[in-house]
Amino acid sequence: MSKKKAVIRSDMTRAQWTWKEMKRNKVAYAMVAPYMLIFSLFTVVPVLLSVVMSFTDFNLLETPNIVWFENYIRLFLSPLHGYHRRGVLFHRLILSKAFR
């Protein structure tokens, strides 16, 4: 009967070591997979879609037109931008401390 030789990490490349550890922990990956799938579906995907849609002119009735940075230019050149920024700053600094 042959004995398994102990493997030292310095004998392996980083990719080989990572693959070995992934195979050793495959049950843990299987247990985490449903959470990661649901998290991605309801958190990561909407965030990525909202970033993509921020570069379009979308109104729910027509197909979106790509306008690139026109929305952001209009946002920062708006005269109300400073007013809204102060409101957000007030909310973040004052109201978030009050409800802590």
Q: How far is 88 from 62, CA to CA, in rounded Å?
A: 32
Q: How far is 57 from 68, CA to CA, in rounded Å?
A: 9
Q: Is the pTM for the entire model greater than 0.85? A: no
- Chain-centroid distance, C-alpha 47: 7
Amino acid making up residue 2: S
Where does the pLDDT of residue 18 fall: very low under 50, low under 70, confident under 90, or very high at 90 and above? very high
How much is the pLDDT for 76?
A: 85
Q: How far is 20 from 23, CA to CA, in rounded Å?
A: 5
Domain boundaries, the chain: 11-53
52-78 pLDDT, tens digit each: 999 999 888 999 999 999 999 998 888
- Percent above pLDDT 70 for the chain: 96
How much is the pLDDT for 26?
A: 96
